Amino acid sequence: MNKKEVEARITELRKLLERHRVLYHVYDKPEISDEVYDSLMRELENLEKNNPEFYSSLSPTVRIGGDTIDHFEKVIHEVKQWSFDNVFNFQELLDWEDRNLTILKKENIKETPTYVAEMKIDGLKVVLTYENGNFVRAATRGNGEIGEDITENIKTVKSIPLVLPEKISITVVGEAWMKKKDLERINKEREKDGLALYANTRNLAAGTLRQLDPKIVATRNIQIYAYDIEQLRLRDTEHSSAKCKTQEEELELLSKFGFLVNKDRKVCKNLKEAQIFYEKWIEKRHTEDYGIDGLVIKINERYLWDELGHTAKCPRGGIAYKFPAEVVATKLLGITVQVGRTGAITPVAELAPVLLAGSTVSRATLHNEDEIKRLDVRVGDTVSLRKAGDVIPEIFDVIKDLRPKNAKAFVMPTNCPSCDSKLSRIQIGKELSAALYCLNKSCPAQHLEGLIHFVSKKGMNIDGLGERIIETFHDIGLITDASSIYKLKKEDIEGLEGFGEKSAINIIASIENSRTVPLHRFLYSLGIRHVGEQTAKDIAKHFSNLKEISEAQVEKLSEIEGVGEKVADALVSYFANSSNQKLLARLIPNLKVTSEKVITDGKLFNKTFVITGTLPSLSRDEAKELIEKNGGKVTTSVSKSTNYLLAGIGGGSKRDDAIKFDIKIISEEDLKKLIA
- By the 8 A CB rule, do 474 and 451 touch? yes
The dotted CATH code for 327-409 is 2.40.50.140
pLDDT at 240: 39
Helix (H) or strand (E) holding 517: strand 516-518
Largest CA distance in the chain: 91
233-269: per-residue pLDDT in tens? 655 445 533 478 999 999 999 999 999 999 999 999 9
Of the options 3.50.50.60, 3.30.470.30, 3.10.20.70, 3.20.20.70, the CATH number for the domain spanning 86-322: 3.30.470.30
State which fold the 3-64 domain adopts.
Answer: Helix Hairpins (1.10.287)
291-314: per-residue pLDDT in tens? 888 999 999 999 999 899 998 778
CA 292, CA 281: separation in Å to the nearest integer? 9
pLDDT of 556 higher than 60: yes
Kindly state the percentage of the chain with pLDDT values over 70. 92
pLDDT at 116: 98
Of the given ranges (13-22, 125-134, 567-576), which has the lowest mean pLDDT? 13-22
Give, in degrees to the nearest 5, the angle at Cα 287 between 283 and 31: 140
- In the structure, what pLDDT confidence band is assigned to residue 70 with cuts at 50, 70 and 90? low
State which fold the 444-594 domain adopts.
Answer: DNA polymerase; domain 1 (1.10.150)
Burial 89-99 (b: 16+ CB within 10 A, else e): eeeebeebbee
Q: Which residues contact 616 (CB under 8 A, 6 or more apart)?
A: 648, 668
Backbone angles phi, psi at 647, to 5 degrees: -115, 135
Q: Residue 223's closest CA among 172, 162, 178?
A: 178
Enter the pTM of the model.
0.49
Active-site residue, selected from the candidate residues 15, 106, 110, 120: 120
pLDDT at 285: 79
Q: Residue 258's closest CA among 78, 77, 134?
A: 134
22-44: per-residue pLDDT in tens? 776 555 567 776 656 766 787 88
pLDDT of 476 higher than 80: yes
- By the 8 A CB rule, do 522 and 550 touch? no
CA 546, CA 527: separation in Å to the nearest integer? 14
CA 90, CA 283: separation in Å to the nearest integer? 17
Helix (H, G, I), strand (E, B) or coil at 205: helix
CA 32, CA 9: separation in Å to the nearest integer? 19
Q: Residue 174's closest CA among 141, 208, 148, 213?
A: 141
- Calculate the alpha carbon distances from 58 to 6, 49, 136, 154, 451 in Å: 17, 15, 9, 12, 51
* Residue 607 a catalytic site member: no
Burial of 658 (0-12, 13-18, 19+ CB in 10 A): buried
Q: Taking all residues of the chain, what is their mean pLDDT, rounded to a whole number?
A: 86
Q: Which amino acid is at 429?
A: G
CA 362, CA 364: separation in Å to the nearest integer? 7
pLDDT at 389: 40
CA 103, CA 557: separation in Å to the nearest integer? 37
pLDDT at 236: 46
Measured from the Cβ of residue 166, the count of other Cβ atoms closer than 10 Å reads: 17
Of the given ranges (92-96, 254-258, 473-477), which has the lowest mean pLDDT? 473-477
For the segment 80-109, the average pLDDT, to the nearest whole number, is 91
What kind of architecture, by CATH, is found in domain 608-675?
Answer: 3-Layer(aba) Sandwich (3.40)
CA 604, CA 602: separation in Å to the nearest integer? 5
- In the structure, what pLDDT confidence band is assigned to residue 644 with cuts at 50, 70 and 90? very high
- By the 8 A CB rule, do 175 and 125 touch? yes
- In the structure, what pLDDT confidence band is assigned to residue 452 with cuts at 50, 70 and 90? very high
Domain positions in the chain? 3-64, 86-322, 327-409, 444-594, 608-675
CA 676, CA 668: separation in Å to the nearest integer? 12
Half-sphere exposure (Cβ direction) of 137: Cα atoms closer than 13 Å: 19
- By the 8 A CB rule, do 510 and 586 touch? no
Helix (H, G, I), strand (E, B) or coil at 470: helix
Which of 327 and 210 is assigned the larger pLDDT? 210
pLDDT at 35: 57
User: Following CA atoms 292, 296, 302, 304 in sequence, which dihedral angle do they give, to the nearest 10 degrees?
Assistant: 180
- In the structure, what pLDDT confidence band is assigned to residue 56 with cuts at 50, 70 and 90? confident
